[in-house]
Structure 1
Amino acid sequence: MKQTGSQRRTTNFQKFMADNSSLRYTFNEAASIYNEARPRYPDDLFSALIDSTEISAGAKLLEIGPGTGQATKPLAEKGFDITAIELGEALAEEAKQELRDYKNIQIIKGAFEEITLPAASFDLVFAATSFHWIDPSLKFTKTHELLKKKGHLAIIHTHHISDERGDIFFNVSQSIFDRYDFTDKHRKPELPKNKDLKADDIDGRLFRLIHFKRFPIVITYSAKSFVQLLGTFSNHLAATKEVRHAFFKEIENLINDQFQGKIDKHFSMSLTVAEKL
């Protein structure tokens, strides 16, 4: 019997979850340190988002995967009404506590793919370092359905980039990452340069790209704070506690012994904005 569109979406999502659920849920384990450890999004990024979409106070926003609210709070302060869907129960509770003073924020616990919301009800759907975790068969079609006419989709990513001075720590530490099988198999053997980062691939049948910008930042980490950051990444969280402890100890010792106890880490936050067709 031929499947309906809804049945096909359900089947695709079930397959996606079977392949990815273990990693999608790992962030929940880092809920207590996530807000402190993860790099902050720069104010200029939010200004660019608002300027490119021309949204104003009172606009209806939907956030996919707010974590502990690092992107939610700056936009709530601008007067937008935000509905945020968070998969992790502990992360959702942390977000509710962090954002408890904002009456214009609603946190919903659940998977974006499964939550039912009114069609054509949002001016902007945005995802900050979370869009790649959404079922590919649904992420553009469902956001398109939820957006009002001429509404916008904004995708924010956090990239590890080259310091363009030799990337000494990255190169020296790779043997440790390799030994614990934490090297990203899809990443090139060198870090990308900020200028080489590209806009997200957008479904051109549903959206048109209207804006792309990169926001490079540098954060100085102590050995302890860098290990804390590593403790919020999905592949590390998926490992056993014993493996994580041994890996973190080697990285901490490397920074203390060879880098005088601190390193400068280069990131770039990319903003891709698309308009609903």
Structure 2
Amino acid sequence: MNNKQIFNYNVEVYDKARPQYPQELFKDILLYSAIGSQSKVLEIGIGTGQATKPFLNMGSIVTAIDIGDKLIDYVAEKYHSFNNFHAICDDFVKYDFNHSRFDLIICATAFHWLPKDLAYKKIMALLKPGGTAALFWNHPFPNRTTDVSNLVNQKVYEKYRPESKPPIEFSEADCSQRCEELVKYGFFDVQTKLYHRVRTLTSDEYISLIKTYSDHRKLPVNRQVEFENAMKEELDKIGGKINIYDTLDLYLGRR
């Protein structure tokens, strides 16, 4: 399966299983960028539009681009009532925006799929002077050794996915590289912020979430099924729930 198309399948499941972003994150983007009604916003890799609505609600003119045709069809329907929304099915680094310039460019848990050098340069070229780039990710961590549900998760991964690298929880120390990249490519007033939360999912909800992960989608189908069944069985033995410790990182820079 092509990496760029790996999320272009059951988009309804993806939209339901993937977590939303915290309102505090959007408030920080809006405060930094100072955009408002009629500001032009570009969203790279919109997916199912989980980071889109706050900008539509404030009246900004949002252009979204994604290479997945099913994803674009989904968000076009999802936000059909907004006349300030336009979706494009194409490759961001190849698409000709025809001299369009934007006040804000956002990319939510998708920038790592892009060729870094080309993506940074294109974002810089597409921003108006003083415009803002906002890159952010969610890093779920269900592997704390102090959490019984996380220990069960580790046990199943070790049995059915022994090739998986030992997970490391995202921390503030991991932010420096991204900040250095923004400075390297010409952005100034670079800022970063972390957000933390804990989500508790039922075993069925967790299986649905696992099904949206790119590394899981690449497994042979029979291996996926074995892994999912084992995970549900083991979690159900301890009450049918798992805690996920999320760290979200936001990076802001100006052109």
Establish whether TM, by shorter chain, passes 0.5. Answer: yes
Aligned counterpart, 1:99: 79
- Give the alignment of 1:82-231 within 5 angstroms: 82-119=62-99, 121-161=101-141, 166-181=146-161, 184-185=164-165, 189-193=167-171, 195-198=172-175, 200-201=178-179, 202-203=181-182, 204-231=184-211
Structure 1: gaps (5+ residues): 1-20
Match 2:21 to one of 32, 41, 65: 41
Contact 2:143–2:150 (CA under 8 A) maintained in structure 1: no
Give SS of 1:198's match.
helix
Structure 2: gaps (5+ residues): none
- Give the alignment of 1:40-79 within 5 angstroms: 40-79=20-59
Contact 1:140–1:206 (CA under 8 A) maintained in structure 2: no
Distance in 2, Cα, partners of 1:102 & 1:181: 43
* Distance change >3 Å, CA 134–CA 79, structure 1 → 2: same
Distance in 2, Cα, partners of 1:231 & 1:164: 21
2:254 is the counterpart of 1:275: yes
Distance in 1, Cα, partners of 2:143 & 2:232: 20
Distance in 1, Cα, partners of 2:248 & 2:203: 23
Aligned residue identity for 2:119: K
Contact 2:76–2:87 (CA under 8 A) maintained in structure 1: yes
Aligned residue identity for 1:268: T
Distance in 2, Cα, partners of 1:160 & 1:184: 15
Contact 1:23–1:238 (CA under 8 A) maintained in structure 2: no
Contact 1:182–1:235 (CA under 8 A) maintained in structure 2: no
The answer to which of 244-253 and 197-206 deviates more is 197-206
* Distance change >3 Å, CA 184–CA 209, structure 1 → 2: farther
Distance in 2, Cα, partners of 1:182 & 1:71: 33
Post-superposition CA distance 1:19-71 (Å, at most 9, x none): xx722211112312111100101111111000011112111011001111111
CA RMSD of aligned residues (A): 2.1
Structure 1 segments of 4 or more deviating over 3 A?
Answer: 161-165, 167-172, 178-185
Contact 2:144–2:151 (CA under 8 A) maintained in structure 1: no
Distance in 1, Cα, partners of 2:159 & 2:10: 23
Q: TM-score, normalised by structure 1?
A: 0.84
Aligned residue identity for 1:220: T
- Give the percent of matched residue pairs that are identical in Structure 1 and Structure 2: 27
* Distance change >3 Å, CA 55–CA 23, structure 1 → 2: same
* Distance change >3 Å, CA 43–CA 183, structure 1 → 2: farther
Aligned residue identity for 2:29: L
Give SS of 2:231's match.
helix
Aligned residue identity for 2:200: T
* Distance change >3 Å, CA 100–CA 178, structure 1 → 2: same
Q: TM-score, normalised by structure 2?
A: 0.90
Post-superposition CA distance 1:73-112 (Å, at most 9, x none): 1211111111000111111111111111111110101111
Distance in 2, Cα, partners of 1:63 & 1:220: 29
Post-superposition CA distance 1:124-152 (Å, at most 9, x none): 11100101111123110111111111111
